[in-house]
Structure 1
Amino acid sequence: MERYAQQNVLDVPTTASLRVYVSEWENGRRKISARFAAILRPLLGLTDRELLGAARRDDPPVVGGYDDLISRIDSAQSVGLSMVKTFTDQTELFRTMDRQMGAAALVDHMTGHLTKLEDALTFAVLPTTRRPVAQALAAAATLAAWQALDAGAVERAWRNYELGKRAAQEAEEPMYLAHAMAEQAYVLCDAGRPELAVTLVRDARRAGGGHMSPRLQAWLYAAEAELCAKAGGELADDCRRALDMAASVLPPGDEARDPDMLSIFLNGSHLARWRGNALALLGDDDAVGSLYQALDSLDATFVRAESGLRCDLAHAHLTRGEYDQAREHLKTARLLASRTGSVRHRRRIDQLTQRL
């Protein structure tokens, strides 16, 4: 808590007082105030409901409940395409806010959004109603999982990816399943299992089969290349082959958004960033040129992406022994990571700073 407060310029009591507060919170003798909840939420990766406590477990159970059940079923039955579009539009709004402001401020909003979608799916009866809701849930759960990973809530990220995969299977949408599996591979990589992550992203490509859009195929190859680079060793050649495959299947032009998969943003500039990142991990001198090309063409609204790109550039300059340039990029990366509240990027910045 003290480190978090120092990094975010917040005032907290002395260490002795904090120890008393923590003890009293754990024993139920003191309520967590809004001031401390704002610190504990990102530190513990918890929602307000999880942090402040849900209903007591010894509350008496509701007897019967058939009227409420039928009401929920009838309500879910009335969910039409217009309501599904509303869910999808809300997910899109959260996606836009996430890339500009970061995930930390959206935890409670995303949790509520997922709860509504899960309820709609839980009480929907017929497949014609369930499938479109399941597709919307798959997209929202995968976004929530990436946000949780960025905020350092690893277990929630994993569970949300599992939710997204189940929803994609129910919706019979191989593209959504492949995307959720491939992003989940990053959890394994961050946990120190890059080889297993490579296996999972390759399985994701097989799961998508012949149903994937060219842009999603390119995205999967690019993800495989990055994970191969992080694994290193014998997978270095696989990394370069995957980058070549990504370039060969990526549609030409500046358009980045995949109309068939709204969570996918990938064009030549984005791929240049991915290529530079992978080559930097392999210690290749060509990385710097690709990364500066990506920086020059980066959309200004992708604030968190710029933080990651600055980290990639710092890594590439460190590999070349260019410490002043690396230091400048890390300085900017840290400012952007603090702006978006990215725990994942701050961790990487700290690791790279130790090499200066």
Structure 2
Amino acid sequence: MLTVASTASLRVYVSEWENGRRTISSRYAKILRTLLGVTDAELTGAPQSPPALTPADGYDELISRIDEARNVSLTMVKTFMDQTELLRTIDRQMGAASLVDEMTAHLSRLEDALTFAVLPETRRPVALALAGAATLAAWQALDVGAVERAWRHYELGKRAAQEAEEPMYLAHATAEQAYVLCDAGRPETAVHLVREAQRLGGQRMSPRLRAWLYAAEAEICARAGLPDDCQRALELATRHLPAGEDARDPDMLSIFLNEGHLTRWRGSALALAGDAEAVSSLYAALDTTDPTFIRASAGLRCDLAQAHIARGEYGEAQKHLRQARLVASRTGSVRHRRRIEQLMQRM
């Protein structure tokens, strides 16, 4: 029950309210608004301002974001791709450990641009840029040991590739995701996934990407204990690789593969399979390796160590592992450091 002043006191209050000598308290304002059917402004006589145009449940902000996304031009998409290329170059030469914040911000901008884009002609170019960036971010996350983040980035890259209707990007992201399964101790499942990647790529893949996928299959088959399948995949990779020194795939800039790269990959797969031919292939690759692929050189040294361990040549293996450890420390590669420790335990 609401307590109010006596009748005599109320007469005084009303007089003082009307003459402006007393301010109406919130308690009495509530009563008077109900009795008189007026607003606070009408009750106090304050001048009324026109109602503010406030967004209804955030619609104004949403429309603003949609309008911004509509204005994302092909020039802006190229800028996104150029940023991905810069991050790829830094990663290749310096490692991924220092790029986490930049890569996260880059993906966030691309995801926002895609989220608020409406029509397909706007969405597809942005989705393509996101597919490339997410796949690169996934490989970087795998290198620094952030396994779940790597998996999620690969899923993002695959969804973006499907949205962009680009089977090459879908195949690439799917095949790289198979390496997460390998590192997690599921190489048999990884074999199925890398073969699924080849199916997803279909007939629209470039020859260089097809060769890359077969080389990836060869390595994963070796890790799964399937030496015959490994050899078959290596033969197919050699058959599909375009001739010449060019390594970059003009149809898919994330793919680097020429005869020199494939020689290293062949040696790596054969070393994993315990094949005696691995040493000669790996030393040939060491002589011709691209000096800008700093992080990859740690993997090559690990492959050489593995090949020497298989032959009982532990002194040579230790020499390569020392070199691999220096590179892994420089680039912050958790993935390579883990492999180095595993190889050390075999000696």
TM-score normalized by the length of structure 1:
0.82
Q: Deviations over 1:17-50 (max 9, x none)?
A: xxxxxxxxxxxxxxxxxxxxxxxxxxxxxxxxxx
Residue ranges of structure 1 left out of the alignment (5+ in a row): 1-61
- How far 1:206 sits from its partner (Å)? 0.4
User: Is 2:275 aligned against 1:284?
Assistant: yes
User: Is 2:334 aligned against 1:343?
Assistant: yes
User: Is 2:132 aligned against 1:165?
Assistant: no
- How far 1:354 sits from its partner (Å)? 1.3
Q: Which amino acid aligns with 1:92?
A: E
User: Is 2:249 aligned against 1:258?
Assistant: yes
Distance 2:287 2:304 in 1: 12
Q: Deviations over 1:87-143 (max 9, x none)?
A: 000000000000111111000100000000000000000100000000000000000
What residue number does 2:230 align with? 239
Q: Deviations over 1:264-283 (max 9, x none)?
A: 00000111111101111111
Q: What is the alpha-carbon root mean square deviation over aligned residues?
A: 0.9
* Residue from 70, 81, 106 that aligns with 2:74: 81
- How far 1:63 sits from its partner (Å)? 7.0
When the two structures are aligned, how many residues end up with a matched partner? 293
What residue number does 1:179 align with? 172
User: Is 2:140 aligned against 1:147?
Assistant: yes
Distance 1:68 1:113 in 2: 22
* Residue from 313, 316, 326 that aligns with 1:322: 313
- How far 1:186 sits from its partner (Å)? 0.3
What residue number does 2:11 align with? none
Q: What SS does structure 2 have at the residue aligned with 1:204?
A: helix
Q: What SS does structure 2 have at the residue aligned with 1:263?
A: strand
Distance 1:270 1:63 in 2: 58
Q: What SS does structure 2 have at the residue aligned with 1:90?
A: helix
Q: What SS does structure 2 have at the residue aligned with 1:152?
A: coil
User: Is 2:168 aligned against 1:210?
Assistant: no
Residue ranges of structure 2 left out of the alignment (5+ in a row): 1-54
What residue number does 2:112 align with? 119
Runs of 4+ in 1 over 3 A off after TM superposition: none
Distance 1:167 1:66 in 2: 26
Q: Which amino acid aligns with 2:271?
A: A
* Residue from 202, 222, 226 that aligns with 2:215: 222
Q: Which amino acid aligns with 2:162?
A: Q
Q: Which amino acid aligns with 1:346?
A: R
What residue number does 2:4 align with? none
User: Is 2:284 aligned against 1:293?
Assistant: yes
Distance 2:60 2:289 in 1: 54
Distance 2:57 2:119 in 1: 24
Q: Which amino acid aligns with 1:96?
A: T
Q: What SS does structure 1 have at the residue aligned with 2:290?
A: coil
Distance 1:296 1:253 in 2: 18
Q: Which amino acid aligns with 2:206?
A: S
- How far 1:307 sits from its partner (Å)? 0.4
User: Is 2:184 aligned against 1:191?
Assistant: yes
Distance 2:142 2:212 in 1: 19
What residue number does 1:19 align with? none
Distance 2:323 2:132 in 1: 31
User: Is 2:67 aligned against 1:64?
Assistant: no
What residue number does 2:25 align with? none
What residue number does 1:303 align with? 294
Q: Which amino acid aligns with 2:230?
A: C
Distance 1:155 1:78 in 2: 34
TM-score normalized by the length of structure 2:
0.84
Distance 2:96 2:276 in 1: 33
Distance 2:244 2:311 in 1: 32
User: Is 2:83 aligned against 1:90?
Assistant: yes
Percent of residue pairs bearing the same amino acid type: 76
Larger Rg: 2
